């Protein structure tokens, strides 16, 4: 797969590292990774950088992942770029809210690299 | 004080998402499911699942006390909504360092901010995975952002909780304790 530019939004630096490692294990070993520790920082970064994939936590201080996603769509930042939410929240209501806000995928923590591969790689295939 | 802070944050999260579900349908109550919510097996399965999936570590419930160390690290994640209370993860600092190393693939000489971040995230995953074992709990109970406490000789006291689970676990290289405190159930 060609070099993928990925934005990982999570307030936990450890979780950003785990997500990155899982993506590399899933086959995206040559990807370029941008990191943001909040939704606000993620939006700022997307004004300056182009990305091919966004993974975001939901439960974050200041601006949570759902608000980040709504703002992303409202400001038309990264149009057409798939967004996958990675979160400890697993109820149908949370999944529904994420999909309504514009997410293409949802991964519940804890997760395996195999689950990341199954949920993320299909989103990167050319239409 | 800290527990009140994390609980208030969790209640705010529950207001954002879970409560909407309650408002739409039949009134939801967890009281009738108290036995299911407080089932000790849920906690054991949660801990084994999180450690296996995120760290590739087999860990098992242990009858003995956790290894005594002068300094300990505790992550607190509050529950709010139909259930209020907290999930606590507590270990000695050397175990916390080993867990953070397994999470990140990095080496640590002391409990620094990355180790604290990793233990906080561990508490977050344990709290989330535990509540997902009971469907009504998953949908109607929010989680706070984790708070992490480090230090010596401290105890957590909650007056007359509805129920409290305190389980010790051991893996090759360390031991830790996970506590679920429920001080309110609707």
DSSP symbol at B111? -
Share of chain A above pLDDT 90, in %: 76
CATH 3.40.50.2300 given to domain A5-124: yes
Contact B117 A13 (CB under 8 A): yes
Domain boundaries, chain A: 5-124
Chain B residues within an 8 Å CB radius of A13: 114, 117
| Residue B176 located in a structural domain | yes
pLDDT at A93: 83
| Residue B8 located in a structural domain | yes
A62 touches chain B (CB under 8 A): no
Please, which pLDDT band fits residue B22 given cuts at 50, 70 and 90? Answer: very low
A/B interface, count of CB pairs below 8 Å:
76
Domain count, chain B: 1
Evaluate if residue A127 carries a pLDDT over 60: no
Per the structure, the complete domain to which residue B179 belongs is given by 2-23+36-185
The whole-chain average pLDDT of chain A stands at 92
**Full-model pTM:** 0.87
* CB distance A9 to A39 below 8 Å: yes
CA–CA gap between residue A37 and residue A12 (Å, rounded): 7
Three-class HEC string of A17-62? HHHHHHHHHCCCCCCEEEEECCHHHHHHHHHHCCCCEEEECCCCCC
Chain A residues within an 8 Å CB radius of B140: 91
pLDDT at B19: 47
Segment A92-101 mean pLDDT: 88
Enter the tokens of residue B130: 């535990």
DSSP symbol at B107? -
CA–CA gap between residue A96 and residue B20 (Å, rounded): 12
Share of chain B above pLDDT 90, in %: 62
| Residue B29 located in a structural domain | no
Task: Give the tens place of pLDDT for each residue, B46-80.
Answer: 999 999 999 999 999 998 788 888 999 999 999 99
């Amino acid at each position: 797969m060609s070099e993928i530019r990925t934005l990982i939004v999570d307030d936990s630096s450890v979780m950003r590292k785990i997500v990155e490692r899982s993506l590399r294990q899933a086959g995206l070993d040559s990807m370029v990774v941008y990191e943001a520790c909040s939704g606000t920082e993620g939006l700022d970064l997307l004004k300056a950088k182009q990305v091919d994939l966004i993974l975001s936590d939901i439960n974050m201080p200041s601006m949570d992942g759902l608000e980040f996603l709504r703002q992303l769509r409202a400001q038309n930042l990264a149009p057409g770029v798939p967004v996958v939410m990675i979160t400890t929240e697993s109820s149908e209501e949370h999944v529904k809210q994420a999909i309504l806000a514009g997410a293409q995928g949802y991964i519940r923590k804890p997760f395996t690299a195999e689950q990341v591969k199954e949920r993320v790689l299909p989103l990167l295939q050319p239409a | 004080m800290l527990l009140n802070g994390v609980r208030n944050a969790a209640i705010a999260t529950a207001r954002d998402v879970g409560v909407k579900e309650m408002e739409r349908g039949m009134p939801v109550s967890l009281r009738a499911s108290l036995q299911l919510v407080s089932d000790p097996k849920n906690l054991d399965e949660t801990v084994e699942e999180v450690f296996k999936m995120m760290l590739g570590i087999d860990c098992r419930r242990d009858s003995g006390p956790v290894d005594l160390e002068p300094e300990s690290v505790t992550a607190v994640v509050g529950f709010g909504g139909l259930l209020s209370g907290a999930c606590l993860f507590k270990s000695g600092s050397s175990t916390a360092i080993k867990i953070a190393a397994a999470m990140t693939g990095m080496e640590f000489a002391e409990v620094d901010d990355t180790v604290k971040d990793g233990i906080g995230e561990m508490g977050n995953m344990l709290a989330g995975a535990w509540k997902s074992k009971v469907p009504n709990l998953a949908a109607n109970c929010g989680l706070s952002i984790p708070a992490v406490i480090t230090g010596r000789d401290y105890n957590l006291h909650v007056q007359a909780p509805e129920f409290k689970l305190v389980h010790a676990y051991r893996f090759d290289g360390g031991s830790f304790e996970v506590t679920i405190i429920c001080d309110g159930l609707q």
